[in-house]
Amino acid sequence: MVDVTFGAGYPLPPPEVEDVELYHAKSWLTKYVFSQDAKVIAIQYSMTAMSIGFVALVLSWLMRLQLAFPDSFSFIAPSDYYQFITMHGMIMVIYVLTAMFLGGFGNYLIPLMVGARDMVFPYANMLSYWVYLLAVLVLVASYFVPGGPTGAGWTLYPPQAILSGTPGQDWGIILMLVSLILFIAGFTMGGLNYVVTVLQARARGMTLMRLPLTVWGIFTATVMALLAFPALFVACVMMLFDRTFGTSFFMPAIIQGGEHLKTAGGSPILWQHLFWFFGHPEVYIVALPAFGIVSDLISTHARKNIFGYRMMVWAIVAIGALSFVVWGHHMYISGMNPSFGFFFATTTLIIAVPTAIKVYNWVLTLWRGDIHLTVPMLFALGFIVTFIIGGLTGLFLGNVSVDVPLSATMFVVAHFHMVMGVAPILVIFGGIYQWYPKVTGRMLNETLGMVHFWVTFLGTYAIFFPMHYLGLIGVPRRYYEMGATNFIPPSAATLNIFITVAALVVGAVQFLFLFNLIWSLFKGKDAGGNPWRANTLEWQTPQTPPAHGNWGKELPVVYRWAYDYSVPGAEQDFIPQNQPPTAKAV
Amino acid sequence: MATALMLILIVAGSVLFHFLSPWWWTPIASNWGNIDDTMIITFWITGIVFIAIVLFMAYCVFRFRHRPGIRAAYEPENKKLEAALAIVTAVGVAAMLAPGLLVWKRFVTVPKDATEIEIVGQQWQWSFRIPGRNGQLGTSDARFVSSDNPLGLNPADPVNQDDFVIVGDDLHLPIGKPVKVLLRSIDVVHDFYVPEFRAKMDLMPGFVSFFWFTPTRTGTFDILCGAFCGVGHFEMRGSVVVEDEKSYQAWLGKQKTFAQLSAEAKRAEASKVEIKY
């Protein structure tokens, strides 16, 4: 047996920090709006992220319409199209995925899962949300300024990002950079909270190696984000200077439209290094929380301990560390010293090993399980399939020479949507179906959930699987229209129409999900405290939804890991983490 | 049952799509066939992994579906199995990485007999420079760019005078001769992308990047821009014509050198001045 499983003889240490003194809300305003309760902040983060996510969804519809039916929509000019793709990408990566996993799931689950009353700095936590909201509003404001939002592509490569050949050069790019700076400032306040809470505010008996993998994933991702976002922060500040004060951090001597611009000596490739030093860890900042959550979903609904818990923890940490030395794989054809290719290809492919181990352990958890195909479980299974495709195509793009023909094509678009678009979003959905009963006290409607799952899962597969093959032909990304070429067969246009139809259907079914969220709030089945019969602490709260302070008078005491499912000889097929051991169970 | 079936259908559908769909890469027109070979190796290894894992999942979902009275097994770890899987994965990864790195070694090693040519990008067109009799390209700098000198060649550099400057026209290349392509941009980041050549590289303003290839098939191929370069990105097209040595020399004979173009520009300037007075 494993030592992480049974710690009954382990002497309970005193709490590492005194019981947190909570600010108890005195009015409606401080209870629901300027709340310092991590659970309320989590809901605020999630609702804001979902709202802006629907904007990104509509943008993706518009760009898909243009790709399938070029010349059909007079209201989509090239500049509009480039604004759509830029805003869609930035919104999804930063303002939806990062905010949802860390601000949403992180805030809700960390204090509950580690057995704390709240985050350790509740006031900073509240500020974190309001600065995030401000960042979102600044971003949205760029739709209402002259010239509209920036159309520089979500990577904002200079020099074009701040030159007149790119849409949104007047105000859009400035607002984008300001919004990112705000987002990072807001995130830092929240992120420090998550890290300190996990390290300092765990319940007695909650050793690090008893933490649920959800917490491990969010914790590691937050540490990474705190290290990676500063690179983006300084890059944004420098570009803002280049744009507004005429500095030349990223600007060499440039001739545009016959005019010699007053720039000289800057390095556009420096931006790429800074951006991807943030940008690649960002992929795992999104993926690691998803890895953690999906591990817990699979374990709970297969009624079986997660297979190889310790290996899963070390894989998360290893992936997190390695992801800081692979950023160059986004720049194989950037013209940087070609010798870098050897290094970055090697580090990138090494990451495949811990990542593959995680996949094996998920599917091995299914082996000899007692699989309940609940909606959260279906989303978890959908995640595995999608993530396998996305991970395996990463082996094409990471392997430097194979990347050369594929880079800048639709293959790349298909790859990153599978691996860091669809896969994490399937986990977000799974997580919402899983924890909505704890948040609201009611179950989401299962039939609607099933429809939502199957249409989303199969639909996104239909969108992105064939898209890889467009990239193989050589269809480049970020093209408003293909026009005439002598290498793309006419059938590719048919495939584009098929993809667009699938995208419209997948988008539409998200509104069904929205309906389910609202309808179930009033009409959903009563959930009870622990509808999934799960072990982790958030299901053991005295009230559902948990009150401010989470635990009533007594903080929980933890006696075991999170995965005591189907323990031989136990009465039930689950043993909550705070259940003291009986003589028999040891 | 339905879920397991669906997983099997996804595997079957994906495999059939891969082999039966009409969408595949364009016939190659350069020496980089071993990039294609490495990709085929990668397809096989990743394809087998994909099929194996998803079918295993389908089996588990069917075989271990919830049935009343049956409990899951309890097995926290299995060190041997975990180690074995890690080793097999590492071997698979090495089998893809090794050829990838070997090909990259060739990619970054320019053959000594390669002819240097230059490709210059600007929003949103391609221009080219081919060395004259001296076989060398002279110095250049964005500071020298003007309407008479669109590529910014150094007028004081004698090496530049016999370079052929091709603006607003196709690039021609002789078949079977390795070329080292020097890439330069005078405004934003562009990327010289010809799908049939497989190789591509960014044009980064501020410095000169390079790559090399040998054209192996005659014909006319599209040049696309592979790096987003502003609102006209999708219209930044050109053509490269690969032809036999004789046709190539005939074409080159019709091109103008930097010295000729400068002289023409001076004459035009002078005639303008005369009209003025």
Contact A364 B81 (CB under 8 A): yes
Residue B24 has a pLDDT of 95
Strand partners, B181: B117, B211
Is the Cβ–Cβ distance between B62 and B4 less than 8 Å?
Answer: yes
Question: Could you give the CA distance from residue A82 to residue A70 in angstroms, rounded to a whole number?
Answer: 14
Residue A35's nearest CA partner among A128, A132, A134 is A128
Contact A309 B57 (CB under 8 A): no
Contact B35 A167 (CB under 8 A): no
Residue A351's nearest CA partner among A331, A335, A334, A327 is A327
Token duo for residue A233: 């922060």
Task: Give the model confidence (pLDDT) of B82-107 as tens digits.
Answer: 999 999 999 999 999 999 999 999 99
Q: Which residue of B has its CA nearest to A450?
A: B3
Residue A100 has a pLDDT of 97
Give the domain CATH number at A322.
1.20.210.10
Structural domain including A286 reads 36-249+267-540
Helix axes A446-473 and A491-523, enclosed angle (nearest 10): 160
Question: Could you give the CA distance from residue A118 to residue A193 in angstroms, rounded to a whole number?
Answer: 10
Is the Cβ–Cβ distance between A424 and A287 less than 8 Å?
Answer: yes
Contact B220 A486 (CB under 8 A): yes
Q: Which residue of A has its CA nearest to B143?
A: A253
Chain A CB contacts of B191 under 8 Å are 333, 408
Contact B46 A393 (CB under 8 A): yes
Q: Tell me the count of A-B CB pairs closer than 8 A.
A: 337
Q: Out of A4, A157, A349, whose CB is closest to B189?
A: A157
Contact A478 B233 (CB under 8 A): yes
Residue-averaged pLDDT of chain A: 93
Q: Is the peptide bond before B124 cis (omega within 30 degrees of 0)?
A: yes
Contact A373 B93 (CB under 8 A): no
Residue A581 has a pLDDT of 86
Q: Is A254 among the domain residues?
A: no
Question: Could you give the CA distance from residue B197 to residue B214 in angstroms, rounded to a whole number?
Answer: 9
Contact A478 B228 (CB under 8 A): yes
Contact A388 B39 (CB under 8 A): no
Chain B CB contacts of A78 under 8 Å are 231-232, 234
Residues lower than pLDDT 70 in chain A: 1-21, 583-586
Phi-psi region of A563 (alpha: psi -120 to 50; beta: other; left: phi over 0): alpha
Question: Could you give the CA distance from residue A53 to residue A60 in angstroms, rounded to a whole number?
Answer: 11
Contact B21 A466 (CB under 8 A): yes
Task: Give the closest-approach CA distance of B177 to chain A in angstroms.
Answer: 21
Q: Where are the beta strands (DSSP E) in A434-560?
A: none
Q: Out of B32, B97, B124, whose CB is closest to A399?
A: B97
DSSP code at position B209: E
Token duo for residue B255: 């091109």
Whether the predicted pLDDT of B9 surpasses 80: yes
Q: Out of B96, B198, B210, whose CB is closest to A349?
A: B96
Strands of B219-225's sheet, edge to edge? B171-174, B238-243, B219-225, B190-193, B200-203
Mutate to test the interface with B, among A160, A331, A572 (most CBs of B within 10 A): A160
Q: Which residue of B has its CA nearest to A381?
A: B57
Task: Give the model confidence (pLDDT) of B95-144 as tens digits.
Answer: 999 999 999 999 999 999 999 999 999 999 999 999 998 889 999 998 89
Residue A1 has a pLDDT of 37
The model's confidence at residue B273, banded by pLDDT at 50, 70 and 90, is low
Contact B145 A255 (CB under 8 A): yes
Task: Give the model confidence (pLDDT) of B212-263 as tens digits.
Answer: 999 999 999 999 999 999 999 999 999 999 999 999 999 999 999 999 988 8
Backbone angles phi, psi at B270, to 5 degrees: -60, -45
Q: Hey, is A189 helix, strand or coil?
A: helix
The pTM of the whole model exceeds 0.90: yes
Question: Could you give the CA distance from residue A351 to residue A280 in angstroms, rounded to a whole number?
Answer: 12
Question: Could you give the CA distance from residue A281 to residue A330 in angstroms, rounded to a whole number?
Answer: 12
Q: Out of B104, B152, B201, whose CB is closest to A342?
A: B104
Strand partners, A526: A442
Q: Rounded to whole angstroms, what are the CA distances from A521 to A207, A436, A444, A505?
A: 36, 9, 8, 25
Q: In A500-535, which positions are buried (b, 16+ CB within 10 angstroms) versus exposed (e)?
A: bebbbebbebbebbeebbeebeeebeebeebbbebb
Token duo for residue B220: 């006319």
Mutate to test the interface with B, among A76, A213, A404, A419 (most CBs of B within 10 A): A404
- Specify the residue for token string 């980041």: B189
Chain B CB contacts of A454 under 8 Å are 6
Q: What is the number of helices (H) and of strands (E) in chain A?
A: 16, 2
Q: Is A567 among the domain residues?
A: no
Contact B103 A401 (CB under 8 A): yes
Q: Out of B34, B49, B193, whose CB is closest to A392?
A: B49
Task: Give the closest-approach CA distance of B168 to chain A in angstroms.
Answer: 15
Backbone angles phi, psi at A39, to 5 degrees: -70, -40
Task: Give the model confidence (pLDDT) of A489-521 as tens digits.
Answer: 999 999 999 999 999 999 999 999 999 999 999
Q: Is A545 among the domain residues?
A: no
Chain B CB contacts of A357 under 8 Å are 82, 85-86, 89
Contact B46 A395 (CB under 8 A): yes
Chain B CB contacts of A361 under 8 Å are 82
Q: Which residue of B has its CA nearest to A307?
A: B76
Task: Give the closest-approach CA distance of B246 to chain A in angstroms.
Answer: 25
Contact B234 A350 (CB under 8 A): no
Residue A6 has a pLDDT of 43
Residue A151's nearest CA partner among B268, B37, B116, B229 is B229
Contact B188 A163 (CB under 8 A): yes
Q: Which residue of A has its CA nearest to B45?
A: A392
Residue B275 has a pLDDT of 58
Task: Give the closest-approach CA distance of A351 to chain B in angstroms.
Answer: 10
How far, rounded to the nearest angstrom, does the alpha carbon of residue A435 sit from its chain's CA centroid? Answer: 17
Mutate to test the interface with A, among B187, B208, B242 (most CBs of A within 10 A): B187
Q: Out of A255, A360, A492, whose CB is closest to B142?
A: A255
Q: Out of A268, A478, A573, whose CB is closest to B189?
A: A268
Domains in chain B and their CATH numbers? 2-66+76-108 (no CATH), 115-272 (2.60.40.420)
Q: Is A274 among the domain residues?
A: yes
Q: Are strands B219-225 and B164-167 parallel, antiparallel or unpaired?
A: unpaired
Contact A495 B23 (CB under 8 A): yes
Q: What angle do CA A129, A135, A139 make, to 5 degrees?
A: 145
Residue A64 has a pLDDT of 97
Question: Could you give the CA distance from residue A514 to residue A518 in angstroms, rounded to a whole number?
Answer: 6
Q: Out of A268, A338, A345, whose CB is closest to B97?
A: A345
* Residues found in chain B: 277
Q: Out of A257, A363, A476, whose CB is closest to B60?
A: A363
Residue A10 has a pLDDT of 52
Q: Is A379 among the domain residues?
A: yes
Mutate to test the interface with B, among A5, A86, A154, A255 (most CBs of B within 10 A): A255
Residue-averaged pLDDT of chain B: 94
Instruction: Report the C-alpha dihedral over residues B69, B70, B75, B76, rounded to 10 degrees.
Output: -60
Q: Which residue of B has its CA nearest to A404?
A: B199
Chain B CB contacts of A483 under 8 Å are 234-235, 237
Q: Which residue of A has its CA nearest to B73?
A: A368
Q: Is the peptide bond before B27 cis (omega within 30 degrees of 0)?
A: no
Task: Give the closest-approach CA distance of B243 to chain A in angstroms.
Answer: 17
Is the Cβ–Cβ distance between A407 and A397 less than 8 Å?
Answer: yes
Task: Give the model confidence (pLDDT) of A167-217 as tens digits.
Answer: 999 999 999 999 999 999 999 999 999 999 999 999 999 999 999 999 999
Q: Which residue of A has its CA nearest to B122?
A: A256
Task: Give the closest-approach CA distance of B60 to chain A in angstroms.
Answer: 6
ipTM of the complex: 0.95
Task: Give the closest-approach CA distance of B226 to chain A in angstroms.
Answer: 6
Chain B CB contacts of A467 under 8 Å are none
Q: How many domains does chain A have?
A: 1
